[in-house]
């Protein structure tokens, strides 16, 4: 059985553990089969689960160890209601093209 490429699928770049990270925007949509997601936004959940991600047992993401990767699907600047309302509406509709996909890798 193939190991998931990413330890976590997140809704934003989260680095709860001190370290050095490489963060890069991806130009392609990754295969998330076997990856655990920690996303609460309903429309984004639909997108990442359609790509193969599975929900985490709880909402606590403990961070990455050296060499591990996570992927973040955040709403692109200008596409979120956050700029107007100071928060993202939980049921804001988004499509894959509304999301910025970033890979996070812990280097040390």
In the chain, where the domains are located: 8-106
What distance in Å separates the CA atoms of residue 101 and residue 108, rounded to the nearest whole number?
Answer: 22
pLDDT by residue for the chain (108 residues), tens digit each?
A: 445 689 999 988 988 899 999 999 998 999 999 999 999 888 899 999 999 999 999 989 999 999 999 999 998 877 665 556 655 555 678 889 989 999 999 999
In contact, 6 and 70? CB cutoff 8 Å: yes
What distance in Å separates the CA atoms of residue 13 and residue 78, rounded to the nearest whole number?
Answer: 17
In sequence order, the β-bridge partners of residue 24 are 103
The CATH homologous superfamily for domain 8-106 is Uncharacterised protein PF08960, DUF1874 (3.40.50.11170)
């Amino acid at each position: 059985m193939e190991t998931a490429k990413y330890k976590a699928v997140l809704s934003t770049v989260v680095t709860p553990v001190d370290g050095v990270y490489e963060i890069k925007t991806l130009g392609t949509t990754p295969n998330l089969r076997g990856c655990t997601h920690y996303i609460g936004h309903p429309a984004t959940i639909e997108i990442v689960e359609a790509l193969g991600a599975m929900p985490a047992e709880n909402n606590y993401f403990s961070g990455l160890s050296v060499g591990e990767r996570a992927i973040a699907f955040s709403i692109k600047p200008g596409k979120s209601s956050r700029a107007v309302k100071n928060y993202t509406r939980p049921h804001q509709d988004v499509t894959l093209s509304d999301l910025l996909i970033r890979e996070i890798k812990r280097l040390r």
